[in-house]
Amino acid sequence: MNDGDFEDYLDSRAAVINEKIKEYLVKESSDEFINKLLGKAGYKYHHEALNRSILDPAWYLIGLGGKRWRATLMYLMMEALGGDADHYLEFCLVPEVIHNATLIHDDLEDGSKFRRGADAVHIKYGLDVANNLGDFMYFFPLVAVMDSEKLSEEKKTKFLSIYAKEMLRVTTGQAADIAWHRFLVDPTKVTEDHYLQVTYDKTGVLSRMACKLAGALTDADENTMEVMGHFGATIGVAFQIQDDLLNIYPSEVSKTKGGVGEDITEGKISLPVIYALQHSNENDRNRLLEILKMHTQDQQLRDEAIGIIDRSGAGDYCRQVEKKIVMDAWSRLDSHLQPSNAKERLKGLADFLINRSK
């Protein structure tokens, strides 16, 4: 399956996931919807208020698109393990909806104005609405789990245990990322291993969660689940490295997220930046740090910083890293999965994510 065919496959899976989200996240609030979420009202819910502050902005963000690849990853992993992925399809919305929640919080914390080529949720609806909506979307998809008659109590407990631990990873990864771009620590002391761990926790966590949840639903043993989780997290890390590169060079990503070098404005200590700080001369290193600390939106200064990163050879190095870590993670997973179309598609998904241009 070539990249074009695989992108078509992802689009087809995204359409299925979108329809499943609609079954759980309605367009307009009602007593039936709220009762399903929270139980019987104590008094009377104000549905118009919930529409304006939860459902409208939630559907605005979901409507901006996204490949839903984390949900597809979970689906394929269940298939590759011999499970009935269609039977458990609704649970694939868990990592996808949580991913959208993290986007809201990321944009708030980074001060980003754009998401997927449109106003970020906090720009369009306000800081308070965005912050609260992100919290809602962290917990909302668990309703699909708790109310399910498909899962035993044992499976539900395992599912929720995975969810709780992986959500803690989200916050610790994000905490370190905030400390870095706010320069609460010396960025020259941040190593590649630090970056990989933070990204493993911050970006890789949801694909890790997707794989581990797939294992829980298909009764995989603990060792297999750990290997699956590592593979999921690793392709999330590779996805982020590719995103770091696409942000600082002209691409669809940089076009839709505030222009080439938005990460420079945010002061992001990305892998290209870490490599440049370690492999540049003193003048270039000091100048790159100076520009990052400015949090400037001046494109000329952004381009100057990108030039320093480019001269260091960071681009080629980062591409080597993302390919190596995915190959290593796949080699560990390979022996745990029987040959199947789903297994081939899992490998195809990993290749697609690290070779994407948008």
Domains of the chain with CATH codes: 67-355 (1.10.600.10)
State both tokens at 103.
Answer: 């986007």
Region 79-106: mean pLDDT is 94
The CA distance from 250 to 305, in Å, is 14
Query: Is the pLDDT assigned to residue 110 strictly greater than 90?
Result: no
3-state secondary structure 208-254: HHHHHHHHHHCCCCHHHHHHHHHHHHHHHHHHHHHHHHHHHCCCHHH
Return the pLDDT at 40: 86
Q: What confidence tier does 258 reach under pLDDT thresholds 50, 70, 90?
A: low
Query: Is the pLDDT assigned to residue 1 strictly greater than 60?
Result: no
Closest by CA to 275, choosing from 266, 258, 262, 288, is 288
Return the pLDDT at 116: 86
The CA distance from 291 to 294, in Å, is 5
The CA distance from 90 to 75, in Å, is 10
Q: What confidence tier does 39 reach under pLDDT thresholds 50, 70, 90?
A: confident
pTM given for the model:
0.91
Share of the chain above pLDDT 70, in %: 96
Give strand pairing partners of 57. Answer: none
Find where tokens 């700080």 sit: 277
Region 272-278: mean pLDDT is 97
Return the pLDDT at 294: 95
Query: Is the pLDDT assigned to residue 281 strictly greater than 80?
Result: yes
Query: Is the pLDDT assigned to residue 228 strictly greater than 70?
Result: yes
Q: How many CB atoms lie within 10 A of CB 357?
A: 10
